[in-house]
Chains A and B, each alone.
Chain A
Amino acid sequence: MKKAYTILKAYKALKKPLLIMKLTLVLMFVCTIQSWAGVNAQTITINANNKEITKVLSAIEKQGNFRFIYNSRLKDLKQKVSVSFTNALIKDVLQQLFAGTSLTYLEMENNLVAIKSVEADEIDIRVTGKITNSSGEAVPGVTVRVKGSTTGTSSGTDGTYALNVPDDATLVFSSVGYEDEEVIVGGRTTIDVTLKSAVKLIDQVIVVGYGTARKKDLTGSVASVSGAELAKQPVLTATQAVQGKVAGVQVITSGDPNALPIIRIRGTGTMLGGANPLYVVDGVINDDIRNINSADITSMEILKDASATAIYGMRAANGVVLITTKKGRVGRMQINYDATLGIKEASNLVNMAGANQYAGYANEASVYYGSGDSIVTKAQLLNGGNTDWYDEILKTGFFQNHNLSLSGGSEKINYFLSAGMLTDEGIIRTNDFKRFTIRNNNDYKITSKFKVSTLLSYARSDVRNVDLGAFNVAYRAAPYVPAKLNGLYGNTSLSNNVGNPILDQDKNNNSGIGDRFQANLVAEFKPLTWLTLRSSYGIDKNNFRSVLYGFKYANQGPDNVFTTSGSNQVRPNSRLTVTEVQGNRWVWDNTATMAKKFGDHNFNLLVGTTAEQIRLNEIGGSRIDVPEDEDQWYLNAGATLGATNVNSGDKSTRNSYLSRLNYNYKDKYFLTATGRYDGTSRLPKDNRWGFFPSVGAGWVISSESFMNDQKTFDNLKLRASYGKVGNDGIPSNAFTALATPNLPYFFNGTEVLNFRLEQLFDPQIRWEVTTEVNLGLDFALLQNKLSGSVDVYDRKTEDALVRIKTPTILGDDEYITNAATFTNKGVELALDWKDKVNNDWNYSIGANAAFNQNRIKNLNGGTAIPDGGVGGQGTTTLSDNGQPIGSFYLWEAIGIFQTAQEISGSAQPSAKPGDLIYRDVDGNKLIDAKDRVFQGSYQPKVTYGVNASLGYKNLDLSVNGYGTGGGKIYNGKKAARGDFRDNIETDVAKNRWTPNNTGTGVPRANLNELPASTYFLEKGDFFRINNLTLGYTLGSGVLSRVKMESLRIYATVQNLATFTKYTGFTPEISSDNTLAGGIESSIYPTTRTFAFGVNVGF
């Protein structure tokens, strides 16, 4: 080490400004430097005739007086010279020796002489080329390395690379999923490489829980999506980009800029704690990945069956999403910059009646079926406007996303540093969202056996939220009221009891700043070749500060903001509410992995422990009369009168022991056995620990000898698995009674704060356990052009934790207990076809579909759970045995009464012509609660996705779409009629039943809210062209002139078109309420994004 240090010092002296950019070169130089020891003599006598300079130098060294250091690859050292000196000084000798070359020298202490070329890089030649695979597709991300050195680069998105290397170097090309390829440069400047397809897809190494595995080793159902694929779409969260790409994974997105997409893997298997999957980012468990920049992701794996997920035991019941972020690779520094800029708009709205249509409908309802008075007067109509409230509350939003990353590495350190900035303004007025992310993933190889890694990420989000109630208000508000006139707001509350949504948007500021810091330190020690010990400690600090300011405004007097006074929309005092939520989590994993081979028997055994603590602390308060100036929005600036303060917290812990054995025989027969013993503080002491085992087996049929002669199948593998996983996703204290505090009452005129112990609880709640059987077949045929898989599963959740609605005779409405069984049975299919037509053309087509059947069994000892309240209609869903979770339970509208005669004999004697006819199910001539029937649920019976890509020379075109079938949506905003003066949809206004328009399906003009019925239930089937992207990659020839490695420009449309018969905003309802997931009410409409982007590599 000491010697290396001296040499480095010498080099520094030689070339003072040592640029970081040249770090790789330095290392290269250091590694190849040679040195000789010398003795004490000052003059030189030498004769040389037509000899290489190096030979001359070594002859001088042999005399013992001088030592030289130089890079033996310096070209000019090979020049032949003829010199003759007797007792000459070293400087004279060298001056003559180097005449006519680029070489210079520097005398140092102890007769050490450093030799350097003035043209440092001259010795290297620039090699460029393109890397393709056997089907001719460009392979990006291939590491290109000079053998025996640390010089390297990687190929760009178009598969091209460029690298300065010694002309006699050997290049090593390596990439996951391909065999390494070695090529001797031999002075060539263009080297195109075709990586061998001998490496099958199934040898891909993918991330599994607490380790990695070859795809071949898997006995469970795991889907993998590359990071490049995820970063392609202009969306915030990586999971959004998975929509339609993985069979059996339903991703429901919202147009809301900062929404976490709802993900259902193989149906809804739980009701509580969210049916969302577990996220694991770089090995650290997580439940929110909105802080992860998609551009930082290497790959995402989705674990679907118990054999794959059981290693996550209690957290895995809803499937697991593993995310691996990028790391640096040995080689020169790579710089990448991506940018996307675009606009967003609502993809679909509802046409509301205009002022005249509205007045016609409302007045008809009142005059013919109500009090007889007109609701809207002629004067109101003449003096009013014709407002499209959706136009008023919406805007076109700007979207941009910039990512810059640096990565590289040397023998000792690999680094990846990235920064990202995303802006999504949303499509509703005053809405805004910005996110800044920074990530630094480094690996430090301390010794060959000991490695330390750090993964640090910080995300800051600035959000301004809007009350989504505006969508409902805009639906209801009377169209003749102007939104705003001469700076004053239209008084909607006078005309139909809703507030002016524009005023509400302008007079509320609901902003927040989120800070999320994640740090993970991993130490890996390999004391023996077959043993890896790993310890990982991760913290996750998630803070959110929200500031909600409600401006003061009056409905009369000097501060009046309305065109006509007398609104009941008023805020006499400004109010500031500040809330700060601090989340602190730590997770500590310790594992030992033992991998050994005994002949044809391969064993890989993992044992480990993990512990986790989650703490939440919320602190905040509210004040009135805080000044309007944003700089004054602090609690101290408000009045003490009416001040409120809150501070509450939560804490929970988990502790687990885990083990997994992977065994295979001759890479033909595979076995995975997993066991995890989990404890959680969220369950009562006696029921706290649960054991979750799984076993999986795989058989690679194509490796059998009897398959040797066939040419059809490149791969054929059968998988089977069985296992149990759990779920503890319930609130921390569900098994103890907690008091409701701070309940005031006045005694002797003085306020006293009291409490009530009213929370219902089950002191004996226990694990919710999901048992899953999976049978799968993977295949690849026709030289891997066609690949795919089929999976059949049966998933059963027993002792399911449900929030049981109780009769209110128990005080509370509901409590949590184990009281249900759910089943999800289904089939998943995935097919991919990839082909290269010729050197210019290639294409791929993929399709997947999943069929799932969800059922409830043994619910609550037989009592069904109603939910899904809509306006005054009461509940609309009933989760009952034999039905899917959240099934609609409604009267069946079977037509419209046309005549009084029809009515008189019917079950609805008080109906009027034009009213809906409901089916009298029990035939008792009375339409009542017993006539409600199950009408299906929001859960689709099939979800599917298709994607295709086409490449022609430098152009690439890709399209993907997805859809669902068999789900139902209740049009809640249409059904909930809060006031008889609410606006109606154009379709209702136009097509309503009248004595002159009898052939319609729309009932007569109505003052009242109609009861809950199938009239409001619609098919939720849809197909969406989710993304269309056209890209152009510039050739490397052009780029090398501007010092770029790669450049791609593209145009993309997210959510191009949706084909559906559903008449509301969107058939995709992003709801976490599993019992009532398909009711449209105040939802953020889905958005369409048009964007342009660029990817640049340096």
Chain B
Amino acid sequence: MKNKYIITALLIGSVVASGCKKDFLEVEPQGQTTEVLALTDASAANKLIGGVYNTLYLGGFGKTTVGFLWAVSNDVASDDADKGSTPGDFSPLGEIDNFTHTSTNFIFDNIWSGHYSGIVAANKAIDILNKSTIEAAAKNRLLGEARFLRGFYYFNMVRFFGQVPKIISVPLPSEGNSDALNTRAPVAEIYAAIIDDLQFAADNLPLKGESTTQTGRANKGAAQAFLAKVYLYQKNWQKVFDLTNAVISSGKYSLVTDYNLIFREKSVGGQGGNNNSESIFEVQTGVNAGENAVSPLYSNSQGARGRGGWNDLGFGFNTPTSDLAGIYEGGDTRRNATIIFINPSTPAPATGTVLWDGLRIPSKDSVENDRYNYKAYHSPTAESPQVTSNKDTKPKNIRLMRYSEVLLMYAEAAAMLGNADGANKLNQVRSRTNLLPATLSQANVWKERRTELAMEADRFLDLVRQGRAGVVLRAHGKAFVDGKHELFPVPQAQRDLSGNRLTQNNGYQ
């Protein structure tokens, strides 16, 4: 009897004790890279920086950095472009065109969120790079690239939204709710951070063509050019002059002789094409299996839109205005390189428009709008096709900084500083497009900027910088309100998430 109880006790005991091994509950993530693995992966540093570059692809109708929504809303807000497409299509963009936009317009949320995605990716990469033990020179070069991109993104943000939260470290998620992060930093503080980043990049990145750099990576010239543009917005003419002068005197860049070739994918006779001689920084796209090495919809959204009966090129947004078409001086080759003009249907026979690759766009009866952005055109026949010919994922490199803009920044700074050499740089840009020399003045540089950089998402921000956005845009028939429309509203969704701690820009409250 006694034995029976002992056995029973043992049996019950064994049931209770039949738990598992101590590490049974230690389960590592399956097949996924963790922060710990990232630190021990030899190629992790490069991959992390590559991940920041990848944020340049953010686009489509979603979060964006320099993609579709950013490009077209800047152009459409200016006098360069209209919303395009059919009248009712994509009213949020129409609101920007008409300056009736409010803080709930999702475009603002996606521009805000996309840029912060890029900034946070850079912060995280910088944080891990700082912890890693790779060789100092390589580390600084990679840090320079990450900080270049972060500075660039903040520069977009501060110009578009004004004050924005300054986040240049990796906060804990629980800190996401803190007052510090949910408060907009003064514009000067943001600019200081941008300058800090771009200066670090300029100091640590190699020159174009050096063995340690690759096509597509930010280099010293890119950092200096953007830093110059930052100082341009700060009206620090001497800095603009010095930095543009450094880029020019590096001798690494030159204008593409034929303006028509700048936005092509492939060079012609060594001129133009992707990453051409005047390219300082551009988004690198390509054909890959996943079709995700592009800024989605960037080209398609601006392609000529059909009215039925024609396999059109895209959505037809961001159409150049007649005002822009009329601003070019006679013989300026940039006019036809910037704008695809749709020909009228009458009188018959209508000839349509033949593009550089021989593709014929029908005349107006089959096409929705009168003009389209040539600079966003990607040839379906003569340039890299996507794997599935998916129109949404055309591999179009986006030019973000060209040498001609460096020359014009130099010219403007020189004009302000009274340096006569500015005229040479201004006329270097003009003579390329068969124009006669102009006299050096800030006004002439501004005029030149418009035609040279038309449809490159610069005009609206430039007008605001110049302080004459209201005057120009009201003359263009827009309901621009001074003291309000210089900035876009802080997205309401983000304000809600911050518990309204993010303040709103003037006039949008």
Pair A863/B497 contact, Cβ less than 8 Å:
yes
| B493 at interface, CB cutoff 8 A | yes
**B137 interface residue, CB < 8 Å from A?**
no
Q: Given A655, A680, A866, which contacts B497 in the complex, CB threshold below 8 Å? A: A866
State in angstroms the CA–CA spacing of A871 and B57 once bound together: 24
A752: shortest Cβ distance to chain B, in Å?
Answer: 5
Contacts of A1037 in B (CB 8 A): none
B259 close to chain A: CB less than 8 A = no
Asked if residues B217 and A533 are in contact (CB atoms below 8 Å), the reply is no
Q: Give the chain A neighbours of B499 by CB distance below 8 A.
A: 862-863
CA distance A1048 to B340 in the complex (A): 77
Is B117 at the interface (CB under 8 A from chain A)? yes
Stretch at the interface among B46-54, B248-256, B404-412, B450-458: B46-54
CB distance from B120 to the nearest CB of A (A): 3
The answer to whether B176 and A609 have CB atoms under 8 Å apart is: no
Closest chain A CB from B126 CB (angstroms): 12
Q: Does A741 interact with chain B (Cβ within 8 Å)?
A: yes
Partner of A736, one of B34, B53, B88: B34
**Cβ contact of A929, chosen from B116, B119, B492, cutoff 8 A:** B492
Partner among A592, A644, A653, A809 whose Cβ is within 8 Å of the Cβ of B25: A653
A360 at the interface (CB under 8 A from B): no
Closest Cβ of chain B: how far from A988's Cβ, in Å?
17
Known: A555-B311, A609-B15, A757-B48. Contact between A751 and B214, CB under 8 A? Answer: no
**Nearest-CB distance from B175 to chain A (Å)?**
8
Which of B88, B124, B171, B181 is close to A1007, meaning CB atoms less than 8 Å apart?
B88
On whether the beta carbons of B498 and A807 are closer than 8 Å, the reply is yes
In the bound complex, residues from chain A placing their C-beta under 8 Å from that of B121 are 756, 758, 811
Per-position 1/0 for B19-53, Cβ under 8 A of A: 11000111101111111011000000011111111
Sorted nearest first, the 5 A-B pairs with minimum C-beta distance are A980-B88, A811-B120, A754-B50, A642-B387, A756-B51
Question: Is A864 part of the contact surface with B, judged by Cβ < 8 Å?
Answer: yes
Q: Are the C-beta atoms of B215 and A749 separated by less than 8 Å? A: yes
Smallest CB-CB separation from A861: which chain B residue?
B177
> Is the pair A607, B12 in contact by a Cβ cutoff of 8 Å?
yes
- Chosen A-B contacts, 15 in total, with CB atoms closer than 8 Å, are A590-B15, A679-B25, A688-B25, A739-B37, A740-B51, A745-B50, A747-B217, A749-B284, A754-B48, A754-B50, A809-B167, A810-B167, A813-B113, A863-B498, A1009-B91
Stretch from B195-203, B288-296, B320-328, B465-473 that touches the partner: B288-296
Contact status of A572 and B87, CB under 8 A, knowing A648-B31, A757-B48: no
Q: With A655-B19, A757-B38, A864-B496 as given contacts, are A565 and B311 in contact (CB-CB < 8 Å)?
A: yes
Query: Could you say which of A556, A746, A760, A1007 contacts B173, with CB atoms under 8 Å apart?
Result: A760
Please judge, given known A-B contacts A747-B214, A751-B293, A866-B497, whether A607 and B38 are in contact too, CB under 8 Å: no
A748 lies within 8 A of B216 (CB): yes
Question: CB distance B29 to A533 under 8 Å?
Answer: no
The answer to whether B173 touches A806, judged by C-beta atoms less than 8 angstroms apart, is yes
- Interchain CB contact under 8 A, B31 and A533: no
- Whether B27 and A928, one on each chain, are in contact in the complex, defined by CB atoms closer than 8 angstroms, is no
Complex-state Cα separation, A738 to B425, whole angstroms: 50
Chain B contact patch, size range: 35 or more
Given A733-B32, A807-B182, A979-B89, the answer on whether A739 and B38 have CB atoms closer than 8 Å is yes
**A807 & B27 in contact (Cβ 8 Å cutoff):** no
Within 8 A of B (CB), among A207-232: none
Smallest CB gap from B397: residue in A: A746
**Chain B residues in 8 Å Cβ range of A736:** 29, 34-35
Q: What chain B residues lie within 8 Å of A755 (beta carbons)?
A: 33, 38, 47-48, 50-51
**Please, what's the 1-or-0 string for A778-790, where 1 marks a CB less than 8 Å from any CB in chain B?**
0000000000000
**Which of B46, B50, B388, B493 is A875 in contact with, Cβ under 8 Å?**
B493
Whether A607 and B16, one on each chain, are in contact in the complex, defined by CB atoms closer than 8 angstroms, is: yes
Is B4 interfacial (CB 8 A cutoff)?
A: yes
A292-325 at interface with B (beta carbon < 8 Å): none
What residue in chain B is nearest A655 (Cβ atoms)?
Answer: B20
From the candidates B32, B53, B117, B284, name the one contacting A738 in the complex (CB within 8 A): B32
Please measure, in the bound complex, the distance between the C-alpha atom of A813 and the C-alpha atom of B120, giving whole angstroms: 12
A641 to B53, CA, bound (A): 25
From A644, A681, A928, B102 is in contact (CB under 8 Å) with A928
* B496–A809 CB distance below 8 A: no
- Residues of A whose CB lies within 8 Å of any CB of B are 366, 370-371, 373, 491, 494, 497, 525, 527-528, 531, 533, 535, 555-556, 564-566, 568, 570, 572-573, 575, 590-592, 594, 607-609, 611, 624, 641-644, 647-655, 657, 679-681, 685, 688, 732-733, 736-749, 751-758, 760-762, 804-813, 815, 817, 860-864, 866, 872, 874-875, 878, 928-929, 979-981, 1007-1009
User: Does B285 count as interface, using CB distance less than 8 angstroms?
Assistant: yes
Cα-based distance from A65 to B499 in the complex (angstroms)? 105
Q: State the CA gap A899–B381 with chains docked (Å).
A: 56
Specify which chain B residues have a CB less than 8 angstroms from the CB of A760 in the assembled complex. 173, 176
Least CB separation from A1009: chain B residue: B91
Q: Which of A564, A651, A864, A874 has the most CB of B within 10 A?
A: A874
Q: Which residue among B26, B176, B292 has the maximum number of chain A CB atoms within 10 Å of its CB?
A: B176
Q: Which residues of A contact B124 (CB under 8 A)?
A: 756-758, 811
Interface pair A808/B33, CB less than 8 Å apart: no
B interface, CB within 8 angstroms of A: 4, 7-8, 11-12, 15-20, 24-27, 29-35, 37-38, 46-57, 63, 86-89, 91-92, 102-104, 106, 109, 112-113, 116-117, 119-121, 124-125, 128, 165, 167, 171, 173-174, 176-177, 181-182, 214-217, 284-286, 288-293, 306-312, 387-391, 492-499, 502, 509
CB distance from B309 to the nearest CB of A (A): 5
B457 to chain A, nearest CB (A): 21
Set of chain B residues within 8 Å of A533, measured between Cβ atoms: 11-12, 15
The residue in chain A whose Cβ has the minimal distance to the Cβ of B102 is A928
User: Known contacts being A745-B53, A757-B48, A806-B173, is A739 close to B33, with CB within 8 Å?
Assistant: yes
Across the interface, name the chain A residue whose C-beta is closest to B114. A808
Q: Which residues of B contact A565 (CB under 8 A)?
A: 308-311
Name the B residues within 8 Å of A556 (CB-CB): 311
A653-B27 contact in complex given A807-B498, A810-B173, C-beta closer than 8 Å? yes
- CA A1089 to CA B216, docked complex, whole Å: 62
- Quote the shortest CB–CB distance from B95 to chain A (angstroms): 10
In the assembled complex, which residues on chain A have CB atoms less than 8 Å from the CB atom of B290? 642, 644, 742, 744
The answer to whether B34 touches A756 (Cβ under 8 A) is no
Shortest Cβ gap from A653 to chain B (Å): 5
**Residues in chain A near residue B288, CB distance under 8 A:** 744, 751
Closest to B312 in A: A566
Q: How far is the CA of A743 from the CA of B124 in the complex (A)?
A: 15
Closest to A554 in B: B311
CB distance from B25 to the nearest CB of A (A): 5
* Residue in B37, B103, B496 whose beta carbon sits within 8 Å of that of A866 in the complex: B496
Is the pair A746, B117 in contact by a Cβ cutoff of 8 Å? no
- Chain A nearest Cβ from B462, distance in angstroms: 27
- Chain B's closest residue to A560 (CB) is B311
Complex CA–CA separation, A744 to B293 (angstroms): 6
A810: nearest chain-B partner, CB-CB: B176
Known: A653-B25, A756-B124. 19 other contacts (CB 8 A): A527-B4, A592-B12, A594-B12, A607-B15, A609-B16, A647-B31, A736-B29, A739-B35, A745-B284, A747-B214, A748-B216, A752-B47, A757-B51, A758-B117, A810-B171, A811-B124, A872-B91, A874-B106, A979-B89
Contact B35 A757 (CB under 8 A): yes
Task: Please give the distance in Å from A370's CB to the nearest CB on chain B.
Answer: 6
Report Cα–Cα, A872/B91, bound state, in Å: 9
Q: Which of A366, A527, A564, A739 is B11 in contact with, Cβ under 8 Å?
A: A527
Contact status A752-B493, CB under 8 Å = no
Closest Cβ–Cβ distance, residue B225 to chain A (whole Å):
20
CB pair B308 A494 closer than 8 Å: yes
Name the residue of chain B whose CB is nearest to the CB of A614.
B27
For residue B29, which residues in chain A have a CB less than 8 angstroms away from its CB?
Answer: 732-733, 736, 738
Contacts of A754 in B (CB 8 A): 46-51, 53-54
Contact A566 to B306, CB < 8 A, known contacts A655-B24, A741-B33: yes
Task: Let me know if A808 and B116 touch, CB within 8 A.
Answer: yes
